[in-house]
Amino acid sequence: MDNTPDVIILAGGLGTRLRSHIGEEIPKPMAPIRDTPFLQILLSKCAREGFKRVILSVGYKQEVIMRYFGERFLGVEILYAREQNPLGTGGAISQALKLAQTPYVLLLNGDTFFEINFWDFMAKPHAPSRLKLALTPMKNTRYGSIELDSDGFITRFSTDSNSAHSLINAGVYKVSRDIFKGFCLLETFSFEAFIAQHYREIHASGEVYEARFIDIGIPQDYLKAQNYLGELGVDSKKES
């Protein structure tokens, strides 16, 4: 029996801060990196590492993404969890999890790239945690900070960015398919706010990596990504 985890990629971002660089008609995950859509770089990495089934959570300009990738990409089956109205990151994940078939899924932000081996991250023991985050140290961060105990469980989850040196959420998660079970949640909610409020109940854990982290969500980092991600090389859109 195949135990390859499903992948969910949050690809519904509006990209309002990037409009001056990518225009109105391109959804943020499709922002070009040297003529290659950012989302293609993520999907190519998943394909190279052996993942077989990806659920794209799509919202703004979803038809652009669906038309480009279709139902298969580099041998990977592509499914779509389509937002009719904005659901927030939590609502989008909850919707996408209904299409998942594996006990745990790899969850990726559609606007960040973290240079770790996703397969190794998923393979490491996780129980009893319903959520594991990939973390990386960062100085003078604009992100929030996370603290862990000696066993790797989260003891503090802050959205403040006032620390000179922090462990930050790098946008890669191992998520139990039943992560939201037992919680009374609105249809629209923030996943980050959910974690900050309930990390103890879900036994959220973290794993720290010293690896390159790229966030294309703001113009200055998007421009930096052109050089770094452009050097990685990506697979073509054609089936191999």
Parallel/antiparallel/unpaired status of strands 112-114 and 53-58: unpaired
Nearest one of 26, 29, 23 to 11, comparing CA atoms: 29
Highest mean predicted confidence (pLDDT) among 80-94, 153-167, 221-235: 80-94
Query: Which pLDDT belongs to residue 94?
Result: 98
Q: Using CA atoms, how far apart are residues 41 and 70, in angstroms rounded to an integer?
A: 16
Q: Would the CA dihedral through 225, 226, 228, 230 be positive or negative?
A: positive
Parallel/antiparallel/unpaired status of strands 145-148 and 154-158: antiparallel
- CATH number of the 6-232 domain: 3.90.550.10
| Domain ranges, ordered by start, for the chain | 6-232
- pLDDT of residue 142 exceeding 90: no
- Lowest-pLDDT range of 72-81, 101-110, 141-150: 141-150
- pLDDT of residue 236 exceeding 50: no
User: How do residues 46-105 score in pLDDT, each as one tens digit?
Assistant: 999 999 999 999 998 999 999 999 999 999 999 999 999 999 999 999 999 999 999 999
CB of 116 closer than 8 Å to CB of 211? yes
CB of 116 closer than 8 Å to CB of 208? no
Highest mean predicted confidence (pLDDT) among 91-100, 161-170, 230-239: 91-100
Q: Tokens 């050097």 appear where?
A: 231
Query: Which pLDDT belongs to residue 20?
Result: 62
pTM for this prediction: 0.92
Nearest one of 150, 152, 136 to 199, comparing CA atoms: 152
Q: Tokens 């052109």 appear where?
A: 226
CB of 41 closer than 8 Å to CB of 86? no
